């Protein structure tokens, strides 16, 4: 080979975007990313990938990358040496802890960082500081799904693999724009639907690509999925169509649950959801006529005040019809970020140690206290939402955010940024000087996935290895190195030389990961948790019952009350979600020219009916006003939305960010913001 070719390196990595967890070889020459090549033995994607995975990497070499630590001096930042930055953080953390107690500090981990880095973030909070105030962005998305599944089947992960979704006879998606949010997974459904007659029923407010392809598409009124799910379940039981064998063997609480359904008649459901009675009957019949049903859901379910209850209703329906414990069946909450699953799994949660052992569980807590030679509070700490409220109340004074643009992605931007301004001390660790970082006292430059070793866990609970392809840019460092250096600066002795040692420590403490070892994760090898000590993993989550005392799942009775609606003053409902080309707040994708070319700016979708009524044309400029704030944008008229529904990509940034409109309403059981419950009025600024 010529010299030129010799300098080209191929490194296995895991996509940094969505939770499908595509893996590929990335070809690099010096710092140049030449191409991204999926491999036949990529477990989640084979030879496929989407536009983000293929072209979304330029941000790594962006000139806007932070390359040196910054400290705020008066109203501007100055570049400093690592030594000075870490000494300053260490000093301020110690002072605040001494003066106001460990619980006056809070930590927000990143779902874009590795499992090992999530493990160290919670260890830092619990061991170095002594607080359980640590959380991550699953609070913004899938915590309600986790809650709903915990209540009913005992584990908060997908019941099977993407293969199981492809193998199902019927797939129902609820509140999931699958083709744009999880493109490679959607292509598996499209294939099964087209070639193998898989039935596809889609429930969503918006007629997106999957809705157009579906056998049946339903548009229930916003926030009422719990009602149709419960009514369909009740109808199935009333007809005697429930899976009696499965329930008898594996399910507790049938009688009590059955009674709790009395309110969910077809009449009531029709009235509340706008789905006609005959359609509800058809849905019930289709469900019991297939042997294998998989239900996929996403933010359209979870980001509501009843997000946890609605996720519970999905699991109840699967239990009643015996759609657990077999390939091709089960519950599939589709994870957004590439490592949102792993970030929670590895303990960056206020109530859980790694592997979902409760902090209140004496047995687990003692194990960690002993290993870390420290005392850990036995009460859950604050979640993201509680931290923001506590800052306003003066009860939380210092915050450390790693790889999360909280000031733009948390609901109610005005409220959250006011909180960030109130902090006594604020550290942000990120790739860029984000919206959130503008409020920081110290900004630490981190390294993205291509510049480090580690593991990510995808939506299938699959732990996959990523290898370092490039050196960290400038003086930036991987999050695990920064956390280690800071812990040592604060007098601890963290001597990890490689992320594999962090994983070994986690595996030795958390039974869920007992057998996880880098030796079993080389190249394209992967493990789906739980992983037993001998290295056996668990592609199908439930094989011999459920992780409760008697091995039986629990039906969970629910009630319903409509939590939000439009009114005379705020007469339009705003829905929001992803677009294919961009990712979340856009910090990475808006810095990738291959993607910006495809979709440079954002838009507000409105229906042709509404455009006609308000006499506005394509491209008109409008202002949306909610009770919490306002945003402006350009109108795109499309029949993907209907009536008084609007749709905003959540990727919009700056003044068009959707979270100027969202408020402090949250899911009652998980404190996940009810991002999808926004009523607005629209003012036309320029008709065009
Ligand atoms: Fe990355 Fe998701 Fe696209 Fe796969 S489907 S390439 S994981 S963004």
pLDDT tens-digit profile of 215-229? 999 999 989 999 999
Distance between CA atoms of residues 520 and 465, nearest Å:
10
CB-count burial class (<10 Å; 0-12, 13-18, 19+) for 559: exposed
Mean pLDDT to the nearest integer, 57-69: 94
Cross-strand bridge partners of residue 647: 575, 605
**pLDDT on residue 338:** 87
Q: How confident is the model at residue 6 (pLDDT cuts 50, 70, 90)?
A: low
Of 282-291, 500-509, 641-650, the poorest mean pLDDT is in 641-650
| Percent of the chain whose pLDDT exceeds 70 | 94
At residue 1, the pLDDT reads 45
Domain count, the chain: 4
| 69 CA to centre of own chain | 28
Nearest CA to ligand 1 atom 3: 50
Ligand 1 atom nearest the C-alpha of 24 is 6
Q: Would you give the DSSP letter of residue 16?
A: S
Identify whether 538 is part of a domain. no
Query: What is the reported pLDDT for 664?
Result: 79
Distance (Å) from CA 54 to ligand 1 centroid: 8
| Domain CATH number, residue 177 | 3.40.228.10
* Minimum-distance ligand 1 atom for the alpha carbon of 184: 5
CB within 8 A of 560, min separation 6: which ones? Answer: 224, 226, 227, 230, 263, 264, 272, 306, 309
Q: Pick the more confident residue, 669 or 17.
A: 17
Q: Does ligand 1 have an atom closer than 6 angstroms to the CB of 335?
A: no
Q: Which of 317-321, 593-597, 612-616 bottoms out in mean pLDDT, i.e. has the lowest?
A: 593-597
Q: 554 in a domain, yes or no?
A: no
Q: Is the domain of 166 the same as that of 110?
A: no
- Of all atoms in ligand 1, which is nearest to the CA of residue 185? 5
Nearest residue (by CA) to ligand 1, atom 4, is 22
Please indicate whether residue 142, judged by its CB atom, sits closer than 6 Å to ligand 1: no
Q: DSSP readout, 112-152?
A: TS-HHHHHHHHHIIIIII----EE-GGGGTTHHHHHHHHHH
Distance from the CA of 52 to the center of ligand 1, in angstroms?
6
Tokens of residue 41, six digits: 């033995």
Q: To which H or E segment does residue 84 belong?
A: helix 82-100
Calculate how far, in angstroms, residue 185's C-alpha sits from the geometric centre of ligand 1: 9
pLDDT tens column, 461-481: 999 999 999 999 999 999 999
What is the band of 4 on the pLDDT scale with cuts at 50, 70, 90? low
pLDDT category of residue 501 using cuts at 50, 70 and 90: very high
What CATH number is given to the structural domain containing 47?
Answer: 2.20.25.90
Number of neighbouring beta carbons within 10 Å of residue 378: 12
Ligand 1 center to residue 336 CA distance, Å? 10
Residues 597 and 465 occupy one common structural domain: no
DSSP H or E stretch at residue 482? helix 479-489
Query: Can you tell me the mean pLDDT for 494-505?
Result: 98
pLDDT at 651: 58
Kindly report whether the peptide bond that precedes residue 530 is cis, defined as omega within 30 degrees of 0: yes
Expressed in angstroms and rounded, the spacing between residue 17 Cα and the centre of ligand 1 is: 6
The pLDDT of 421-429, averaged and rounded, is 97
Cα angle 520, 526, 527; round to 5: 85
Residue 440 to residue 418: CA distance in whole angstroms: 13
- Indicate if 326 and 344 belong to the same structural domain: no
> Does residue 13 have its Cβ closer than 6 Å to ligand 1?
no
Residue 460 burial (CB count, 10 A) = 30
C-alpha distances (whole Å) from 327 to each of 159, 294, 331 are 9, 10, 11
Residues 209 and 328 occupy one common structural domain:
yes
**Which of 21, 50, 187 most suits a substitution to test ligand 1, by most atoms within 8 Å of the C-beta?**
50
Dihedral sign (CA 511, 512, 517, 518): negative
Q: Which of 333, 352, 384 is the last residue of a domain?
A: 333
Task: Tell me whether residue 180 is exposed, middle or buried, using C-beta atoms within 10 angstroms of its C-beta: 0 to 12, 13 to 18, 19 or more.
Answer: buried
Residue 23 pLDDT: 95
Q: Is the pLDDT of residue 307 over 60?
A: yes
Residue 547 resides in a domain: no
- Range of 146-150, 254-258, 607-611 with top mean pLDDT: 254-258
Do 371 and 329 have their domain in common? no
Same structural domain for residues 310 and 165? yes
Comparing 306 with 138, which gets the higher pLDDT?
306
Query: Which whole number is the average pLDDT over 57-71?
Result: 95
Closest CA to 104 of 360, 387, 372: 387
Taking alpha carbons only, the member of 610, 288, 588 closest to residue 430 is 588
- Per DSSP bridges, beta strands 553-554 and 251-252 are parallel
CA 584 centroid distance within chain: 10
The model's pTM is 0.90
Q: Which of 13, 14, 15 to mutate to test the pocket of ligand 1 (most atoms within 8 A of CB)?
A: 15
Q: Ligand 1 pocket, 352 CB below 6 A?
A: no
Three-class DSSP labels, 549-592 = CCCCEECCCCCCCCCCCCCCCCCEEEEEECCCCCCCCCCCHHHC
Measured in Å, residue 174 CA sits from the centre of ligand 1 at 20
Residue 83 lies inside a defined structural domain of this protein: yes
**Strands lying side by side in the sheet with 462-466:** 454-457, 462-466, 526-528
Dihedral sign computed on CA atoms, order 519, 524, 525, 531: positive
Residue 21 inside a domain? The answer is yes
Q: What is the structure's pLDDT at 2?
A: 52
Strands 170-174 and 134-135: unpaired
> Where does the pLDDT of residue 558 fall: very low under 50, low under 70, confident under 90, or very high at 90 and above?
very high
Q: Is the pLDDT of residue 386 over 50?
A: yes
Regarding the beta carbon of 193 and ligand 1, being less than 6 Å apart is answered: no
Confidence check: pLDDT of 600 > 50:
no
For ligand 1, the distance from its centroid to the CA atom of residue 635, given in whole angstroms, is 28
- Whether 38 is in the pocket of ligand 1, judged by its Cβ within 6 Å, is no
Which range of 43-52, 82-91, 413-422 scores highest in mean pLDDT? It is 82-91
Atom of ligand 1 nearest to the CA of 50: 3
Model pLDDT, residue 84 = 98
pLDDT one-digit tens code per residue, 167-182: 999 999 999 999 988 9
Q: Are residues 367 and 500 in the same domain?
A: yes
* 576 DSSP β-pair partners: 648
Q: Rounded distance, CA 416 to CA 434, Å? A: 14
Amino acid 279: pLDDT: 98
Per the CB < 8 A criterion, the answer to whether 232 and 283 are in contact is yes
In this prediction, the answer to ipTM > 0.85 reads: yes
Mean pLDDT on 139-165: 89
Beta strands in 175-264 (DSSP E): 199-203, 216-218, 251-252
Which of 14, 46, 53, when mutated, tests ligand 1's pocket best, judged by the most ligand atoms within 8 Å of its CB? Answer: 53
Q: Are 350 and 494 found together in one domain?
A: yes
Q: What digits encode the pLDDT tens for the residues 319-344?
A: 999 999 999 999 999 987 889 899 99
Distance 53 CA to ligand 1 centre (A): 5
Residues 247 and 303 placed together within one structural domain of the fold: yes
Query: What is the average per-residue pLDDT within 243-269?
Result: 97
The whole-angstrom separation of Cα 427 and Cα 88 is: 11
Sorting pLDDT into bands at 50, 70 and 90, what band is 646? confident
Question: Residue 642 belongs to a domain with what CATH number?
Answer: 2.40.40.20
CATH number at residue 92: 3.40.50.740
Whether residue 11 is contained in a domain is answered as: yes
Query: Measuring from atom 6 of ligand 1, which residue has the nearest CA?
Result: 53
Burial of 241 (0-12, 13-18, 19+ CB in 10 A): middle
Residue 406: predicted pLDDT: 78
Q: Are residues 317 and 438 in the same domain?
A: no
Lowest mean per-residue pLDDT among 106-115, 581-590, 677-686: 581-590
What is the spatial distance between Cα 438 and Cα 428, in angstroms, rounded to a whole number? 9
Last residue of a domain, one of 27, 43, 61: 61
The Cα 402–Cα 311 span in angstroms is 29
State phi, psi for 494 to the nearest 5 degrees.
-95, 115
Q: Three-state secondary structure along 149-169?
A: HHHHHCCCCCCCCHHHHHHCC
The pLDDT value recorded for residue 592 is 63
Q: What band does 631 get if pLDDT is binned at 50, 70 and 90? A: confident
Alpha-carbon span 326 to 244, nearest angstrom? 16
Helices (H) and strands (E) in the chain, counts: 25, 28
Return the pLDDT at 654: 62
580: Cβ below 6 Å to ligand 1?
A: no
Is residue 579 over pLDDT 90?
A: no
> Does the residue 559 lie in any domain?
no
Q: Which of 49, 580, 586 maximizes ligand 1 atoms within 8 Å of its Cβ, making it the mutation to test the pocket? A: 49
Cβ–ligand 1 contact at 20 (below 6 Å): yes
Q: Are residues 232 and 155 in the same domain?
A: yes
394 and 306, same structural domain? Answer: no
370 Cα–ligand 1 center, Å: 40
Asked if the structure places residue 382 within a domain, the reply is yes
Structure tokens at 383: 């979640």
Which residue range(s) make up the domain with 490? 70-133+340-524
- Domain boundary among the residues 20, 42, 61 is at 61
């Amino acid at each position: 080979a010529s010299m030129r070719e010799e300098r080209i390196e191929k490194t296995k990595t895991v996509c940094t975007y969505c939770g499908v967890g595509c893996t590929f070889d990335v070809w690099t020459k010096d710092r140049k990313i030449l191409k991204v090549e999926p491999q036949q033995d990529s477990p989640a994607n084979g030879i496929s990938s989407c536009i983000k995975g293929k072209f979304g990497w330029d941000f790594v070499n962006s000139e806007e990358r932070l390359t040196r630590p910054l400290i705020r001096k008066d109203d501007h930042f100055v570049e400093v040496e690592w030594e000075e930055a870490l000494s300053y953080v260490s000093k301020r953390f110690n002072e605040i802890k001494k003066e106001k107690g460990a619980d006056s500090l809070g930590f927000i981990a990143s779902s874009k960082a590795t499992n090992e880095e999530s493990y160290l973030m919670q260890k830092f909070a619990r061991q170095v500081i002594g607080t359980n105030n640590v959380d991550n962005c699953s609070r913004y998305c899938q915590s309600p799904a986790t809650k709903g599944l915990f209540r009913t089947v005992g584990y908060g992960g997908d019941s099977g693999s993407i293969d199981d979704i492809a193998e199902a006879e019927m797939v129902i998606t609820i509140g999931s724009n699958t083709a744009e949010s999880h493109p490679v997974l959607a292509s598996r459904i499209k294939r099964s639907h087209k070639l193998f007659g898989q039935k596809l029923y889609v429930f969503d407010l918006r007629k997106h690509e999957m809705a157009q392809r579906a056998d049946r598409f339903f548009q229930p009124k916003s926030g009422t999925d719990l009602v149709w799910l419960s009514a369909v379940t009740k109808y199935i039981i009333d007809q005697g169509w429930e899976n009696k064998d499965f329930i008898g063997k594996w399910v507790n609480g049938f009688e009590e649950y059955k009674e709790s359904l009395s309110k969910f008649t077809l009449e009531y459901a029709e009235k509340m959801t706008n789905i006609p009675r005959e359609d509800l009957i058809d849905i019930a019949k289709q469900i019991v006529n297939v042997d294998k049903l998989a239900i996929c859901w996403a933010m359209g379910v979870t980001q509501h005040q009843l997000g946890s209850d609605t996720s519970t209703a999905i699991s109840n329906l699967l239990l009643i019809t015996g759609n657990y414990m077999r390939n091709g069946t089960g519950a599939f909450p589709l994870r957004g970020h590439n490592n949102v699953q792993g970030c929670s799994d590895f303990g960056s949660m206020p109530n859980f140690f790694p592997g979902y052992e409760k902090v209140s569980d004496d047995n687990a807590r003692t194990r960690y206290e002993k290993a870390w030679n420290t005392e850990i509070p036995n009460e859950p700490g604050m979640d993201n939402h509680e931290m923001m409220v506590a800052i306003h109340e003066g009860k939380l004074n210092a915050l450390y955010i790693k790889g999360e643009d909280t000031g733009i992605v948390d609901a109610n931007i005005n409220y959250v940024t006011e909180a960030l301004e109130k902090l006594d001390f604020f550290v942000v660790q990120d790739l860029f000087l984000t919206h959130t970082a503008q409020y920081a006292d110290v900004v630490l430059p981190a390294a993205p996935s291509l510049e480090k070793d580690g593991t990510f866990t995808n939506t299938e609970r699959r732990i996959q290895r990523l290898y370092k392809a490039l050196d960290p840019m400038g003086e930036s460092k991987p999050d695990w190195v920064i956390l280690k250096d800071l812990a040592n600066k604060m007098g601890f002795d963290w001597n990890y030389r490689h992320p594999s040692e962090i994983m070994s420590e986690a595996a030795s403490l958390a039974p869920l990961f007992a057998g996880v070892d880098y030796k079993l994760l080389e190249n394209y090898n992967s493990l789906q948790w739980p992983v037993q000590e001998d290295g056996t993993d668990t592609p199908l989550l439930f094989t011999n019952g459920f992780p409760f005392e008697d091995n039986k799942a629990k039906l969970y009775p629910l009630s319903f009350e409509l939590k939000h609606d439009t009114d005379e003053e705020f007469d339009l409902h705003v829905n929001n979600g992803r677009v294919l080309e961009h990712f979340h707040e856009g910090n990475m994708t808006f810095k990738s020219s291959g993607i910006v070319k495809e979709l440079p700016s954002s838009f507000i979708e409105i229906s042709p009916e509404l455009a006609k009524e308000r006499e506005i044309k394509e491209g008109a400029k409008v202002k949306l006003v909610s009770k919490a704030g306002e945003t402006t944008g350009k109108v795109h008229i499309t029949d993907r939305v209907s009536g008084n529904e609007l749709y905003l990509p959540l990727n919009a940034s700056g003044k068009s960010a959707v979270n100027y409109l969202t408020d402090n309403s949250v899911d009652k059981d998980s404190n996940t913001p009810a991002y999808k419950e926004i009523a607005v009025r629209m003012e036309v600024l320029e008709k065009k």
